[in-house]
Amino acid sequence: MQLNAPLDMHLHLRDGEMLENIAKCSAETFSGAIIMPNLVPPVSTKEEVLAYKARIMKAIGEETFEPYMTLFFKPSYDKDFLSSVRDEITALKLYPAGITTNSEGGVSGFDVEELRPTLEAMSELNIPLCVHGETNGFVMDREAEFASIYKRLATAFPKLKIIMEHITTKSSVDLLDKFENLYATITIHHLLITLDDVAGGMLKPHLFCKPIAKRPADRDALLKVALSAHPKVMFGSDSAPHPKHAKESCGCAAGVFTAPIALQLLTELFENQNAPIENLQAFVSGNAQKIYGITPPVKTIVLEKRPFHVPSDYNGVVPMYADEKIAYSIKK
Ligand code: NCD
Ligand code: ZN
């Protein structure tokens, strides 16, 4: 079983020691990834993009891996600024203010007129907009409530590619085909777990993330579009490492760390669900190449049906399924 140029279209690589410790987990198995900008402070100037990319390249060493850089969306960006940074970035990432890790400087209110200059400039420059689509409503309803904002943005900026990041609900899946310019990423954990796995028994901090995993019917809707490789969905792990002490504590940080096991889990899932391997190839690479217009570095990953014992931690970061066995391994 082999995958060509697998892409992770939503990845947190962090910075400093964490970056040094975990970047290789993605660079060893993926051909490239969209790198989220939610550092402290967020990546919001050309200089910061270039410097962060250089730190990533240093951390991945000899691996073949393209970090597709993003900027943290601010309504103050004008067309001159966006033109000057266009060649260094692949997308902008919009966070509602305070909705998730390091998103304090994000957008509040979603007034189309306030956002218009920046979004029109992005549209003209063909820069996609990645969105963390949650309101600050009741936790299980946040994503569904955000649908009205997606509709407003998709209608007001019909040429702007809008990517609904890490969708978790049937309502988001249903939106995909209603607007030509809406796309989505889906994580592996949201294809595998529901809220029951997080909080139905003993509380599982390593499965806690934003958006929170939802109901079985939501997961089924996600599975349907992922397994059939719906052309508007792409794999994005949202692998979001936090130190073990920040997860196993009172006030658990949100984020599931899946980078080192994502491809193995996807392979097992597609096999168990009898989905053709071509669909997995489209979900983890082909669709993203078409949507973003990117050509990732050539890289072939061979997966073997040989149990892999997931380590209990990777340099102090506990992965999903730590200390458990999964069915597939990556051939070195
Ligand atoms: C992410 C993080 O830790 O940066 N956390 C998460 O739960 N997914 C941020 C995000 O993508 O929401
Ligand atoms: Zn994320």
User: For position 274, what pLDDT does the model report?
Assistant: 98
**3-class DSSP state of 35:** strand
Q: Is the CB of 210 under 6 A from ligand 1?
A: yes
Residue 279: CB atoms within 10 Å: 18
By annotation, the residues acting in catalysis are: 238
Q: Give percent of the chain above pLDDT 90.
A: 98
CA 238 to ligand 1 center in whole angstroms? 7
216-253 per-residue burial string, b: 16 or more CB within 10 A, e: under 16: eebbebbbebbbebbebbbbbbbbbbbbbebbeeeeeb
Q: Residue 176: count other Cβ atoms within 10 Å of its Cβ.
A: 17
Position in ligand 1 atom list of the atom nearest CA 103: 9
- Amino acid sitting at position 165: E
What is the four-CA torsion angle of 84, 90, 92, 93, rounded to 10 degrees?
A: -150
CATH assignment at residue 180: 3.20.20.140
Can you give the pLDDT at residue 101? 87
| CB contact set of 218 (below 8 Å; sequence gap of 6+) | 168, 169, 170, 194
Q: Whose CA is nearest to atom 11 of ligand 1?
A: 238
- CA–CA gap between residue 243 and residue 10 (Å, rounded): 19
pLDDT, position 116: 97
Pocket test for ligand 1, best of 43, 185, 237, 238 (most atoms within 8 A of CB): 238
Closest by CA to 210, choosing from 128, 96, 323, 106, is 96
Q: Strand 2-4 relative to strand 300-304: parallel, antiparallel, unpaired?
A: antiparallel
What pLDDT score does 181 carry?
A: 98
DSSP assignment of 233-290 equals: EEE---B----HHHHSSSSPPP-B--GGGHHHHHHHHHHHTT--HHHHHIIIIIHHHH
234 lines ligand 1 (CB under 6 A): no
Tokens representing 90?
Answer: 């692949």
User: How far apart are the CA of 10 and the centre of ligand 1, in A?
Assistant: 10
Give the residue numbers spanning the domain of 105.
2-330
* Ligand 1 centroid, distance to 315 Cα (angstroms): 19
Is any atom of ligand 1 closer than 6 Å to the C-beta of 101?
Answer: yes
Beta strands in 96-202 (DSSP E): 129-131, 162-164, 182-186
The chain-wide mean pLDDT, for the chain, equals 97
Domain count, the chain: 1
**3-class DSSP assignment, residue 22:** helix
Structure tokens at 177: 């085909």
Considering every ligand atom shown, identify the ligand nearest to the alpha carbon of residue 237 and give its number.
2
> Does this model's pTM top 0.95?
yes
The protein residue whose alpha carbon is closest to atom 6 in ligand 1 is 255
Largest Cα–Cα separation, the chain: 55
pLDDT number for residue 332: 85
Residue 123, classed as helix, strand or coil, is: helix
In the predicted model, residues of the chain with pLDDT beneath 70 are none
User: Rounded to the nearest whole angstrom, what is the distance from the C-alpha of residue 240 to the centroid of ligand 1?
Assistant: 6
What confidence score (pLDDT) does residue 258 get?
99
**In the block, which residue shows the tokens 């904002």?**
149
Angle at CA of residue 54, ends 10 and 86, nearest 5°: 65
| Residue 247 beta carbon below 6 angstroms from any ligand 1 atom | no
- In terms of Cα–Cα distance, which of 40, 14, 8, 50 is closest to 27? 8
Are 287 and 234 in contact by the 8 Å Cβ rule? The answer is yes
Tokens for 323, please give them: 């200390």
Summarize pLDDT for 91-145 with one digit per residue, the tens: 999 999 999 889 999 999 899 999 999 999 999 999 999 999 999 999 999 999 9
